[in-house]
Amino acid sequence: MKTVVIYHSQTGFTRRYAQWIAEAVGADCFSLSQAKGVDFSPYGAVVYGSWACAGKIRKLGWFKSRIRGWSGKRLAVFCVGASPAESPEIEPFLRRSFTDEEREWAAVFYCPGGLNYEGMPLPSKLMMRAFAKSTRAKKGKTPEEEVMAGMIGASYDIADQRYIEPILAYLRG
Ligand SMILES: Cc1cc2nc3c(=O)[nH]c(=O)nc-3n(C[C@H](O)[C@H](O)[C@H](O)COP(=O)(O)O)c2cc1C
């Protein structure tokens, strides 16, 4: 099935996952800004990847507004965030990002990325620094929050090709 992967990435993690997926299934791969010129009609599958920002998936509206027009295509979304894959916040986060109907149309996946402070524009850097400070200061942290508080003060990379396996299985269906 001819597949296209569209991604929106600020610091590179989502782009890297998009390229891994595209290489694995022989898909075309475009950034969201390039996608404006893409004719989607030849594609049987569309994969959209974007990053988590303050509890939301960035530019998810671009994908959602096209779901109905893409009926008959195999659709998948992957979100890349700083949280580890086993974080208990992931499932509720993904659940509130989509309606039940949207989830019938598109499969949803999470891929852990990391933090790249060097690649962030200043406003993002300031937001993350403030978030890191408040996480560290929080009283009564859960064990997961304790781990995150220790991680998010500096850049780290927990992206791994194994996290694309469920996406590949879905596409190969
Ligand atoms: C302002 C800001 C808010 C963020 N909010 C979240 C979040 O709510 N949940 C999460 O898991 N990661 C969050 N992150 C981390 C990014 O999703 C993470 O660094 C991701 O790997 C970035 O992908 P990219 O390199 O493709 O831009 C946030 C990052 C920034 C800069």
DSSP 39: -
| 1 CA to centre of ligand 1 in angstroms | 31
| Contact status, residue 52 vs residue 92, Cβ threshold 8 Å | no
Divide the 173 residues of the chain into consecutive groups of 10 and give the mean pLDDT of each group: 97 98 98 96 98 97 96 97 94 97 97 98 96 93 90 96 98 93
Check if 113 has its Cβ closer than 6 Å to any atom of ligand 1: yes
Q: Is the backbone of residue 110 left (phi > 0), alpha (psi -120 to 50) or beta?
A: beta
- Looking from the CA of residue 83, the nearest atom of ligand 1 is 11
Pocket test for ligand 1, best of 53, 110, 111, 116 (most atoms within 8 A of CB): 53
Give the pLDDT confidence score for residue 144 in this predicted structure: 86
Q: So where are the chain's domains?
A: 3-116+156-172, 117-154
Closest Cα to atom 27, ligand 1: which residue?
Answer: 10
E strand or H helix that includes residue 21? helix 13-25
Q: Are strands 156-157 and 114-115 parallel, antiparallel or unpaired?
A: antiparallel
User: Which residues are within 8 A (CB) of 124 and not within 5 positions of it... i.e. 6 or more apart?
Assistant: 10
- What is the per-residue pLDDT across 71-101, written as a single tens digit (0 to 9) for each? 999 999 999 999 999 999 999 999 999 999 9
Q: What per-residue confidence (pLDDT) applies to 164?
A: 98
* Tokens encoding 127: 């937001």
Using the mean position of ligand 1's atoms as its centre, give its distance from the Cα of residue 128 in Å: 8
Contact 81, 110 (CB under 8 A): yes
Q: What is 3-116+156-172's CATH topology?
A: Rossmann fold (3.40.50)
Strand partners, 6: 30, 48
Is the CB of 50 inside a 6 Å radius of any atom of ligand 1? no
pTM: 0.97
Contact 12 CB / ligand 1 (< 6 Å): yes
Q: Residue 18 Cα, ligand 1 centroid: separation in angstroms? A: 16
